[in-house]
Amino acid sequence: MGEVALLLFWPALAGYAEAAVAYAGDTVRPGRLVRYAIWGVRLGWLAQTALLVAQAAGADGFPWGSWAGSLNLFVWMCVGVYLIWGCRAPFRLLGLVVMPLAALLLVLAWAAGGVGEPARSEFGDVFLAFHVGLILAAFAGFTLAAALAALYLWQERRLKRRAAGVLRLRAPSLETLDALTVRTIAVALPALTLGIGIGLARLESESAGFDAIMGVTLLTWVVYAAFLVLRLEAGRRGRRAAYLALAGFALVVLVRVVLTPFAHF
Amino acid sequence: MRLVLVGTSYQRAPVELRELLAYDPELRREALGRLSVEGAEAAVLSTCNRTEVYAVDAEPGALEERIYGELAGLSGLSHSELAPALYSVADEAAALHLFRVAAGLDSMVPGEAQILGQVREAYEAARATETTGPILHRLFRQALRVGKRVRTETAIGENPASVSSAAAELAERVFEGLAGRRILLLGAGKTADLTAANLISRGVGEIVVANRSRERAEALARRLGGRAVGLDAVVEEVALADVVVASTSSQGFVLSGAQVERAMKERRGRPIFFIDIAVPRDLDPAINELEDCYLYDIDDLERVVAESVAGRREEAVRAEAIASEEADAFRAWQLSLDVVPAIASLRARAESIRREELERAERRLASLSPSQRRAVEALTSQIVAKLLHQPTVRLKEAAAAADGVLYADAVRHLFGLGDDADSPRQSRQ
């Protein structure tokens, strides 16, 4: 099963990479390459789904317990969330951010051994699988929210600068981007809350210590919770809200890329 | 049978002449009747930018003369006065011309959408007066398809081509649609009216008109279905509006940055879009520096339109390729008409032989049950169909080449077929 999974890695990567290149090409000549980009995303995601299934079939316990394995799952979730509405015409530009990132992280997961035979996991019980799954799903949502916030800032800057070509690339309105960022975070935050809750329960039952990952994850929760309170209660929107969403994402990157590889479970 | 186009457009004729050559629906109906004598096909495309007559007849020279006479009669000008303004093309070139027109490639603004509806209307009018036949049916249906293809497969019609539509599209980059939005018009002149009309067509909710002259504000508000306020109430209205369109004739700023900053405090971060189409400007440029405020003046909008039209011209290259491809397809179809009569005769001959042979064998087949008789009928029909399938396909393929007619003659000679009585190019369906 590990070999099958490794074989499936290449079409998944090829799909994501092709989509990234096609999205970039589409900004030069709008409307010509986007069809190929969307098919790249779909086929790549299907190949990665098959890869994950192959890994799950051959695993003893939770197959994505390692950092590299969880990165693999994280990429799949990000692209999956993107697939739900990201491929629609006004959101094409999001692919410029999401697809190169997906291809890069998938290569990273492969290089670190996260796409082949899963290592025997210490995450044997269902609760831990839920803990990791929920936190990764929340992080995938935050990644997408960050892409939306980045697109908002880019679009806002172009409108402010009154660039002559401001209408040449199809992009969603500022209001749409703002609303979608909020909605994505509003869905992802409960998942993070639940994931943290399960983690804290495990911490208490096993009398384990509090570490940096937990600290930064809690800080991430605080930032996104503050985002929702400011946005929904105080009416803070627009550029400031976008910067706050990006600040939260910086903490996600810190947890996923800097702290997790050195963590011991 | 030849397809002939005679017409004029803004590229050849000034507006004074185009006015003389414009058809209203009644005049067009009468003209179609005159042009379609003796089974000729005819259609007239008449817009503010062009008048074109498409007609099909066996005698192209006489047909062309008839169209010239028709246009001369309409305009009241002599043939020699009219001739320099008219163009005349035939067959494939005429088809290509109509495809380019339907695609918006021959329009003042490349890719403008209105022309496709006008081509459809010309086709419908000709159908209603029963002056279309197989060739014009095919030509206009294909032209409508070309128009749709070009707009689907290229971005030629995507970006705005006027200041008012650019303003509306920019507003839609800020807001999730304009439906239900509140628009504040500063000034009640013609330009405010035009921009408001564009915004209204996109479904804006409420319109407030503010003007120095309360009477003019009320008149415009009544016409647009909004309400009027005095210029002294502008700051309060800015706090509530989503889009502000300024077009007064004031010599100074009607709204300062400080006034808008004050209004923004009440908006809780809701964005606002300002369109300043007045010269001298009505809105302080400092407004654009404020958070959640987006200000475009007339120069900004004209730059956006220029860029957009340039983009349309780039896309026009791809659209031209589509129009050429379709003109080639039309030519191939038109040529295939030359062999259709030969194919029809061949099939008729084969069918008559089959019938004759079945009748001759009637006595021997008399003992067959009804189901066995049906089986014999089906079997013989299948043999005929299979035998003729390949020659039919080959003849149609050969029709597109120069020697297509020779093949048709060879078939007539080999199978002893007579001259064709009913040709699709000779009779109107």
A&B contacts, CB < 8 Å: 67
Residue B139 is predicted with a pLDDT of: 96
Q: What is the pLDDT of residue B265?
A: 87
- Using a CB-CB cut-off of 8 Å, the residues of chain B touching A159 are 170, 173-174, 294
Judged by CB atoms closer than 8 Å, whether chains meet at B160 and A159 is answered as no
Q: pTM of the predicted model, to two decimals?
A: 0.69
What pLDDT shows up at residue A49?
Answer: 94
Quick check: A160 and B288 CB within 8 A?
A: yes
Distance from B241 to chain A by nearest Cα, in Å? 15
Å from A37 to nearest chain B CA? 16
Alpha-carbon gap: B154 to the closest alpha carbon of chain A (Å): 7
The answer on pLDDT for A114 being more than 90 is no
The verdict on A183 touching B (C-beta cutoff 8 Å) is no
Interface of B with A (CB under 8 A): 154-155, 158-160, 166, 169-170, 172-177, 268-271, 288, 291-292, 294, 296, 300, 303-304, 306-308, 311
| A170 contacts B176? CB cut-off 8 A | no
* Domain match, A196 and A249 both: yes
Indicate the pLDDT class of residue A122, thresholds 50, 70 and 90: low
Q: ipTM of this model?
A: 0.77
Last-in-domain residue among A105, A120, A135:
A120
Whether residue A20 is found in the same domain as residue A38: yes
pLDDT (0 to 100) of residue B122: 96
A142 & A41 share domain? no
Contacts of A235 in chain B (CB under 8 A): 268-269
Q: In this predicted model, what pLDDT tens digit does every residue of B188-246 receive, in sequence order?
A: 877 777 788 888 888 888 999 998 888 888 988 898 889 999 888 898 999 999 999 99
- B308: chain A residues, CB-CB within 8 Å: 167-168
Compare B332 and B387 and report the one with higher pLDDT.
B387
pLDDT of B423 higher than 70: no
Closest CB to B294 among A30, A160, A167: A160
Q: Which of the pair, A151 or B401, is modelled with greater confidence? A: A151
**Which residues are within 8 A (CB) of B70 and not within 5 positions of it... i.e. 6 or more apart?**
B31, B34, B35, B53
Residues on chain A touching B298 (C-beta within 8 angstroms):
none
Over range A33-61, report the average pLDDT: 88
What's the whole-number mean pLDDT along residues B340-348?
84
CATH number, domain of A105, equals 1.20.120
- B407/B429 Cα distance (integer angstroms): 26
Indicate whether A255 and A141 sit together in one domain.
Answer: yes
Q: What is the pLDDT of residues A72-90, one digit of tens each?
A: 888 998 898 888 777 777 7
pLDDT for residue B428: 39
Res A262: pLDDT? 59
> Beta B182-186 vs B206-211: how paired, if at all?
parallel
Nearest to B169 by CA among B243, B109, B111: B243
pLDDT score of B315 = 86
> Six-digit token pair at A33?
């390459």
> Do the Cβ atoms of A165 and B271 come within 8 Å?
no
pLDDT number for residue B429: 34
pLDDT band of residue B72 (cuts 50, 70, 90) is very high
Number of domains in chain A: 2
The pLDDT value recorded for residue A177 is 92
pLDDT band at B106 (very low <50, low <70, confident <90, very high): very high
Of B270, B294, B304, nearest to A164 by CB-CB distance is: B304
Q: Is the pLDDT of residue B420 over 70?
A: no
Answer yes or no: do A175 and B306 touch at CB < 8 A.
no
Which site among A157, A173, A176, A180 would you substitute to test the B interface, given the most B Cβ atoms closer than 10 Å to its Cβ? A173
Examine the domain organization and report whether A110 and A174 are in the same domain.
no
User: Does residue A168 belong to the interface with chain B, where contact is any CB pair within 8 Å?
Assistant: yes
**Which pLDDT value is given to residue B242?**
95
Distance from CA of B326 to the nearest CA of A (A): 20
What is the rounded average pLDDT of the residues B163-177?
A: 90
User: Which residues does chain B have within 8 Å of residue A236's beta carbon, measured at their own beta carbons?
Assistant: 269
Q: Indicate if the pLDDT at residue B6 is higher than 80.
A: yes
* A134 and A97, same domain (yes or no): no
The reply to whether A4 and A70 lie within a common domain is: yes
Confidence of residue A31 (pLDDT cuts 50, 70, 90): low
Residue of chain B nearest A171, judged by CA positions: B173
Whole-number average pLDDT of chain A: 85
Are residues A173 and B172, on separate chains, in Cβ contact within 8 Å? yes
A30, A164, A176: residue with CB nearest B176: A176
Determine the average pLDDT of the residues in B101-126: 91
Active site residue ranges of B:
48
> How much of chain B, in percent, has pLDDT values that exceed 70?
96
Q: Is the pLDDT of residue B89 over 90?
A: yes
- Residue B382 dihedral angles phi and psi, to the nearest 5°: -65, -40
A159 and A48 in a common domain: no
The residues, any chain, with a CB within 8 Å of residue B68's CB and separated by 6 or more, are: B6, B79, B82, B83, B86
Assign B177 to helix, strand or coil. Answer: coil
A105 and A135: one domain?
no
By C-alpha distance, the chain A residue nearest B295 is A160
Residue A235 banded pLDDT, cuts 50, 70, 90: confident
Same domain, A61 and A133: no
Across A181-190, B6-15, B55-64, B239-248, least confident range: B55-64
Residue A241's closest chain B neighbor by CA?
B269
> Would the CB atoms of B307 and A170 count as touching at under 8 Å?
no
Confidence category of residue B155, pLDDT binned at 50, 70, 90: confident
Domains and CATH numbers, chain B: 2-153 (3.30.460.30), 163-303 (3.40.50.720), 338-415 (no CATH)
**Confidence check: pLDDT of B283 > 70:** yes
- In our burial notation (b when 16+ CB lie closer than 10 A, e otherwise), range B364-394 reads eeeeeeeeeeeeeeeebeeeeeeebeebbee
pLDDT of residue B156: 85
Q: Which residues of B touch A165 (CB under 8 A)?
A: 307, 311
Q: What is the 3 state secondary structure string of chain A?
A: CHHHHHHHHHHHHHHHHHHHHHHHHHHHCCCCCHHHHHHHHHHHHHHHHHHHHHHHHCCCCCCCCCHHHHHHHHHHHHHHHHHHHCCCHHHHHHHHHHHHHHHHHHHHHHHCCCCCCCCCCCCCCHHHHHHHHHHHHHHHHHHHHHHHHHHHHHHHHHHHHCCCCCCCCCCCCHHHHHHHHHHHHHHHHHHHHHHHHHHHHHHHHHCCCCCHHHHHHHHHHHHHHHHHHHHHCCCCCCHHHHHHHHHHHHHHHHHHHHHHHHCCC
* Res B336: pLDDT: 78
Best B176, B265, B292 member to test A by mutation, with max A CBs in 10 Å, is: B176
User: In the listed set A76, A95, A120, which residue is the last one of a domain according to the structure?
Assistant: A120
B58 or A128, greater pLDDT: B58
Both A141 and A97 in a single domain?
A: no
Report the residue of chain B nearest A236, measured CA to CA: B269
- The answer to whether residues A114 and A223 belong to one domain is no
Provide the chain A residues 64-103 that lie in CB contact (below 8 A) with chain B: none
Domain boundaries, position A255: 125-265
Q: Which of A85, A120, A155 is the last residue of a domain?
A: A120
